[in-house]
Amino acid sequence: MPKTLACLDIETTGLSPDRDKIIEIGVAIFDFKERKIIKEFSTFINPGVAIPSQVTNLTGITDADVKTAPKIADIKTELEEFIRDYPIVGHNINFDIEFLNANGFEIKNLRLDSIDIAHIAFPKTDSYSLEIIGKILDVEERGKHRALSDVKSNIEILYKLFDLYFSKTPDIKNILEKSASPWKEVIKIASENCKTFKLNQKKSVAKSQKKVSFEEDKLLAEIADLVPENFIEENPENKTIICAPEIENGIHEPANYLEQKLFEKFLQKETFTPEETVFALKIIPLIGDREIARNELTLPQNGKDLWWDFACASLPENIIKKLTTDKTILISHRTLAKIALQMPELIEGSTLIILDADELFEHTRESLTVRYSMKRLGESDTVTMLFAHLGIMAEKYGEGFEFKLEEHHFDTPEWQKVATLIEKLPQEDRVVKFLNKSKKYSENLNLSIRIFEDGTPLLTITPLNIGAFLEEKYWSKAKRIQLFSSTLTFAEESPKYDFIKSSLNLPLDIKITPSDEKKIYIEKTSSDLEKLMEKEEKPIYVLTGSQRACEQIHAESALNLKNAGIKLLAQNSSGGIGKIKSMLKETPGKTVVVGTYDFYKQAKPEIKTLIIFRIPFPHPNAVQIKCPEAEKFKKYALPATMIKLKKIGLKAEKIISLDGRMPEYL
């Protein structure tokens, strides 16, 4: 049983092991059981190339620091003798070892990724970066993004993660005995030597100080910021369905719930892969008398894939009971679409309140979109042949990784073979029935084939007649309907609310309640973006049209702004959404965030100034509506984008546009 481990971290000039270079290495050999560091190794590395400014901004390492440092080949023997055959711990350790192996090393030691243990200890958190996890655990900050400092922090974090997990977790010996996880033996030591540990729980800050009539109801407290006071009746006569874009509490679609019987059966397996081990250990402490929802968890990518093996195919019985008995229910836009298809009687005669109604069209379309993979349809010769022919068709007629079927493609010999194979699938499954109905051309459906990097096809069917669906399933059934949003129109729209009414097929007498439809002035300028980021009031959000633009702005301006005492955070370049949210909270008055509209929606940062670098019009292929191609921009892309911009603009005190296409008012 290994009790001596090596913890390793490197700093590099970039993210590619093949193109970029190592500039610093830090390693500590430590006794895991006794919790003490035995010896340390640390050195700068001369990369033979200039260090990019964004790397200096991140690490503080300059060309002068590495000028007289050894080359990577010069320390190879010393480092290999130092590490020996100890298991190597690191946060995202594959990155470090792949870099070393690309630079002449042949490290074959057991790899122990501490992100796995962070996922086990924290079922849900904004970010699993070493920096953010360290702050949550009150680990002393020894210096960000310096190799040996990060190594020492990583070791302390590892101890605290295990102590936290085993302070609240039942016996997991059965899982460990059958696990193929590289952490298996280390976890056993941790379970036998853990110390009592409790998080320093800070007082939570309420999302809103606004009082609502349902003040004690956590479901309705969640939407307090989205509705005016007294908007929702107390003790309503009819069932009231409150529908919001995203919800934490409330009722979700079936796939958001864990099928506990399937999970319990899974725990009886003979063996567990490393990924299955992390998944099981993450969920076991949550098992109890209530339903476990997907939104309670932050899952790694392989965990997201595993979730679908245990997701409910239909709503759990106690959730159905809640839906049918509660007078007021809170659900998401996407869930309402599923309910309308599977339990239409719930909407009949109800009071239907749609919050952020401008997002209803997109969310309904996403909910009704069906994606067919080989895994979803099950393994069989018919399914294998079906997807082989889809791949052949995409290769023959498509360009790039995604191929949209036009009307004439449905008459090709290739599609006829696909249609014949679809008919041979078991028709009891609801999703297969829909696939069978969709095999012929329809102006109300968009079919596309996407080819993944491994060559696997994915067939996606997207409905285009969303307005007709809403009219049939929502507006014609509900007794009372009310739409609410911070904005549902924009300055140049005439007549007002035309886009919302036409895209959602709204009845003429429906009540629309915008919170504020004042015009917002846009200051148009051709000034240098970096100067604007430096002088305007912060926090600032710089809105771009693409992730590439975010990366470019960060690379060009991060170091200069840092020297001016300003923190520049960019989508992906500075970490994930959770990490950026946490970093923004530290120094909001000195921070600029650069991101796309979708990033803003997820991060929801508080801002003083909005800088529109590029208007985020959707790509023409992304506009999937039942409409002549030439009219898509005017009827959908333009009004939808202006409303999105106004929603962000209402959160800012000042709006500046560097895009000359921007109107003077929103």
* SS (HEC) of 223-289: CCCCCCCCCCCCCCCCCEEEEECCCCCCECCHHHEECHHHHHHHCCCCCECHHHHHHHHHHHHHCCC
Calculate ∠ Cα 438-444-450, nearest 5°. 60
Q: What secondary structure does DSSP assign to 92-146, as a single string?
A: THHHHHHHHHHTT----SPEEEHHHHHHHH-SS-S---HHHHHHHTT-----TT-
Instruction: Dig out the tokens for 337 from the structure.
Output: 């679409």
Main-chain dihedrals φ then ψ at residue 405, nearest 5 degrees:
-80, 125
Which of 91, 119, 145, 252 is flagged as catalytic?
145
440 by Cβ neighbours in 10 Å (0-12 / 13-18 / 19+) ranks as exposed
Give catalytic status of residue 145 as yes or no.
yes
In order of 372, 551, 585, the CA distances from 571 in angstroms are: 30, 7, 16
The letter for the amino acid at 567 is K
Distance CA 295, CA 496 (A): 37
350 and 241 in contact (C-beta within 8 Å)?
A: yes
In order of 347, 485, 573, 637, the CA distances from 363 in angstroms are: 18, 15, 28, 16
The letter for the amino acid at 356 is D
Return left, alpha or beta for 130; rule: phi > 0 is left, psi -120 to 50 is alpha, else beta.
alpha
Instruction: Dig out the tokens for 430 from the structure.
Output: 């609801």
362 and 495 in contact (C-beta within 8 Å)?
A: no
Distance CA 43, CA 30 (A): 18
240 and 327 in contact (C-beta within 8 Å)?
A: yes
Give the number of other CB atoms < 10 A from CB of residue 544.
24
> Which residue reads 């109107």 in tokens?
663
Instruction: Dig out the tokens for 287 from the structure.
Output: 């098992």
Residues noted as catalytic: 145
